[in-house]
Amino acid sequence: MTATTDGSTGAVTPRAASASQPSTTTATTGTTADTRDLAARAIQRSTGFLLSRQDAEGWWKGDLETNVTMDAEDLLLRQFLGIRDEKTTHAAALFIRGEQREDGTWATFFGGPGELSTTIEAYVALRLAGDRPDEPHMAKASAWVREQGGIAESRVFTRIWLALFGWWKWDDLPELPPELIYFPTWVPLNIYDFGCWARQTIVPLTIVSAKRPVRPAPFALDELHRDAADPNPVKPQAPATSWDGVFQRLDKALHVYHKVAPRRLRKAAMNSAARWIIERQENDGCWGGIQPPAVYSIIALHLLGYDLGHPILKAGLDSLDRFAVWREDGARMIEACQSPVWDTCLATIALADAGLPADHPQLVKAADWMLGEQVVRPGDWSVRRPELTPGGWAFEFHNDNYPDIDDTAEVALALRRVAHPDQERVEKAIERGVRWNLGMQSKNGAWGAFDVDNTSPFPNRLPFCDFGEVIDPPSADVTGHVVEMLAVEGRSHDPRTRRGIAWLLAEQEPSGAWFGRWGVNYLYGTGSVVPALITAGLPAAHPAIRRAVRWLESVQNDDGGWGEDLRSYRDRGWVGHGTSTASQTAWALLALLSAGEREAASVERGVEWLARTQAEDGSWDEPYFTGTGFPWDFSINYHLYRQVFPLTALGRYVNGEPFAGGSGHFAKGS
């Protein structure tokens, strides 16, 4: 028996359960048989490559590459704590120097422009490593920093790091009082108004902000000021009638409060914040499975008297070492996060869709590992959903406090593809995951990544929050993945699924694309949403699907691939445009294939591009960043994306859609 998933409701018209309607476009690049033969050979090589990368425990994890601020801040932390050693410093400096651009700057993504705060932090790290200011690479960097306005124009987080060593004045930083921990959830700017990643960082920083520590600076940084005599020139305030003006004046009031805050209240607030931090430390010592909260939590607790030998700090410091990737040349790169659950579910989907038998031992082992990673205790999400039973999956090895909706949806889709010997265990795990995801739906019918209705307009207004996203509103890519999962589970007709579908249709851009929150950018959004809508029952002839197809074909590169630069988040001229990459080409193909365009010239050209650019060992090379932590501000190169998404696309090209019309051989109950 197979689940029916036509998903008809309102503007959503049911389609035949057989398959998407094929395109009548004639291929112009070679015969279909030739292309499918190329694809089959590429699948064989890629499958072998991916299987060889699985850990003995059953998981996959590719490097998660971001930018050198991770490495610079790791050195600054070690300097602050007095534990910086020569080996670590040399290895970090080797990596940081290798990332410097010809103009002396550092970028936040491959091929991107120089970025001021990143360049300042990299420069300071190299000073710690012993690089002299008059060396050509350093002089070039400092000259560029001065041209951009110097340290005064850098982001708040950079200036906090400098304030720890007296290179910047605490009085010249936005205030963040620890009494924030006492705000009830109905008060604006309570800690749960912030996205989970921001919340985990802000709580420890309230302690740091209250303590205002200064360690002796090992050198001066006058060369990084536009005018060393006046390093922080006064800037005009925004009008008092504007939101920016209101929050600037609120910050001034908080600076006054810092001087008169009742000592007992402040001490109690810092202790409450410390308890909040300690309660959220994971079993491996990290916080939320990501590096920045761990760094600031260690500093905050140390300032409150926890010595470095205390079990909490010792475990925290040990966890940071696990974020280090040591390269063959001796360089050391720090990952901001690690992605084993995400990588494992995507790898499982790729291998299954490529034709690996559902009972293959390595797929069963992957399913076993994923089943063991299900989060079965409440986390911060339960503040807004106290009655909801846990059942999600997180992104990382250890992150029971913050499972996410996206991973939960994709893990369920992956588990549904595996013929596990304990099928009852699988069914129960998927049922818990589905129930949890449904309970995490926001009131507009869509889904965010970690929280429900995390949409307050106020956190982004704070002068402190001048870098990246600090809230977690629903997004098309996450909502698309949830809708796809619900459809596969036979819930296309569920009113909650139909609300998600309606939201997605309303969010489509006039061009036909969808915005990508967690991947770059409209190619990711469109590649996530179109397969979801088709699986949920929209016919391939639906106007929304046809608009998406036309847009994808209009932005295909001359070489047959697809690419989109991160600059599309700021400049509409870059939307859908960029150097062809393996992952982005695959996203476009996934959308086109689900829309019934298997015989289209655009699909054949895309498949041929993937086959042509594949290395002999079955891998693809992709230096470009196609993932995001924060759109534009914090970019990610997931090293496994270049492997799993092309294999998925090639597999579906050769083998067909796994859940076509809800009747695919992987659908629930088959």
Task: Write the pLDDT tens digit of every residue in 129-142.
Answer: 999 999 999 999 99
pLDDT mean over 282-300: 93
Residue 2's pLDDT band (boundaries 50, 70, 90)?
Answer: very low
The CATH classification number of 65-334 equals 1.50.10.20
Token code pair at residue 127: 């000073």
The distance of Cα 551 from the centroid of its chain, to the nearest Å, equals 25
Q: Map out the domains of the chain as residue ranges.
A: 32-62+339-454+470-662, 65-334
Range of weakest confidence among 103-112, 249-258, 517-526, 657-666:
657-666
* pLDDT (0 to 100) of residue 235: 79
* pLDDT (0 to 100) of residue 668: 52
Residue 230's pLDDT band (boundaries 50, 70, 90)?
Answer: confident
Percentage above 70 pLDDT, the chain: 94
Predicted TM-score of the model (pTM): 0.91
How many Å apart are CA 626 and CA 519, to the nearest integer? 6
pLDDT mean over 268-293: 94
Report the chain's mean pLDDT, rounded to a whole number: 91
Give the ranges where 383-422 is alpha helix by DSSP (H): 405-415
How many Å apart are CA 220 and CA 167, to the nearest integer? 7
pLDDT mean over 514-521: 97
The CATH classification number of 32-62+339-454+470-662 equals 1.50.10.20
Query: Tell me: the pLDDT tens digits for 243-267?
Result: 778 878 887 888 898 999 999 999 9
Token code pair at residue 243: 């939101």
Cα R_g (the chain), whole angstroms:
25
* pLDDT (0 to 100) of residue 662: 44
Q: Is residue 7 scored above 60 in pLDDT?
A: no
For strands 64-65 and 634-638, give the pairing.
antiparallel
Query: Tell me: the pLDDT tens digits for 602-640?
Result: 999 999 999 999 999 999 999 999 999 999 999 999 999
How many Å apart are CA 159 and CA 298, to the nearest integer? 18
SS3 168: coil
How many Å apart are CA 193 and CA 467, to the nearest integer? 17
Residue 233's pLDDT band (boundaries 50, 70, 90)?
Answer: confident
Q: Quick check: do 32-62+339-454+470-662 and 65-334 share a fold?
A: yes
pLDDT mean over 65-87: 96
CB of 92 closer than 8 Å to CB of 77: no
SS (H, E, C) 232-289: CCCCCCCCCCCHHHHHHHHHHHHHHHHHHCCHHHHHHHHHHHHHHHHHCECCCCCECC
Which of 454, 497, 496 lies closest to 475, judged by CA?
A: 454
Position of tokens 């293959």?
Answer: 360
Known catalytic residues?
Answer: 406
How many Å apart are CA 166 and CA 161, to the nearest integer? 9
